[in-house]
Structure 1
Amino acid sequence: MNILLWVLQILLALHTVTGAVWKFSNSAQTVPSLSAIPHGAWLTMSVLELICALGLVLPAFYKPLAMLVPIAAALIAAEMLLFCALHIYSGDPNFGPMIYWLVVAALCAFIAYGRLVLRPL
């Protein structure tokens, strides 16, 4: 279980870093429902994503930071759920992006649960 959690944490960290870099390089949101997010908040979410990605992998090098993993996973899940709420609020009938965000949020929830209950670091 520990190996599975580490693999998922690393994959989620890579996913999150990729999203953060993309947000920095593309100031315009490609999903129309996310256009309600102001540019400053969009960039702030990028910084938060980079910090969360670090929080997912730092415990591999320094065990006392183990509590960062469930916190980082919960913050990423909250961001994905925020995207879902904005998408629903916008009335966009395309649910493709929302399914993607819900899958990422579920993965984050599994990592947080795994590190808090199943296999703490």
Structure 2
Amino acid sequence: MNILLWILQVLLAVHTAIGALWKFSNPAQGMPSLAAIPNAAWLGLGVLELLCSLCLVLPLLYKPGAILAPFASLVIAASMLLFSLLHWQSGEANAGPLYYWLTVAVLCVFISYGRLVLAPVK
């Protein structure tokens, strides 16, 4: 279980870092359902996501930082749920992004549960 969680954490960290960098080069208004997010908040989410990416892999280098990983994954899950809610409320017919964000949120919750209960980093 520990190896699976590490693989998922590294993949989530890479995914989140790429998403954060994308936020710096693309405004939220590029996606109609996320247009409700002000540009400053959009950029703030990018910074927060970069910090979360770092916290997901920090336990590889610094074991006492292991408690940050499950909380970072919960923060990422919360942002995915926010995007899902905004997309759902926009009434956009394309449900693809909604399913994508909800899948990532479930993965984040699994990582958090795994690191808090199933296989905590020691």
Which runs of no fewer than 5 residues in structure 2 stay unpaired?
none
CA distance in 2, matches of 1:29, 1:9: 29
State which drifts further: 86-95 or 12-21. 86-95
Partner of 2:13: 13
Counterpart Cα distance in 2 of 1:96 and 1:26: 19
Q: Distance in 2 between matches of 1:57 and 1:48?
A: 15
AA in 2 matched with 1:84: S
| Displacement of 1:44 | 0.1
Q: Matched residues in 2 for 1:59 and 1:49: separation?
A: 17
* RMSD over equivalenced CA pairs, Å: 0.8
What residue in structure 2 maps to residue 68 of structure 1?
A: 68
Q: Separation in 2 of the partners of 1:103 and 1:63?
A: 28
Instruction: Normalising by structure 1, report the TM-score.
Output: 0.97
Name the structure 1 match of 2:84: 84
Q: Which residue of 2 aligns with 1:44?
A: 44
Instruction: Give the C-alpha shift of residue 22 in structure 1.
Output: 0.5
Residue 36 of structure 1 aligns to a residue in which SS? coil
Aligned residues: 121
- Alignment of 1:115 with 2:115, yes or no, is yes
Match of 2:2 in 1: 2
Aligned-residue sequence identity (percent) comes to: 64
Q: CA deviation at 1:101?
A: 0.1
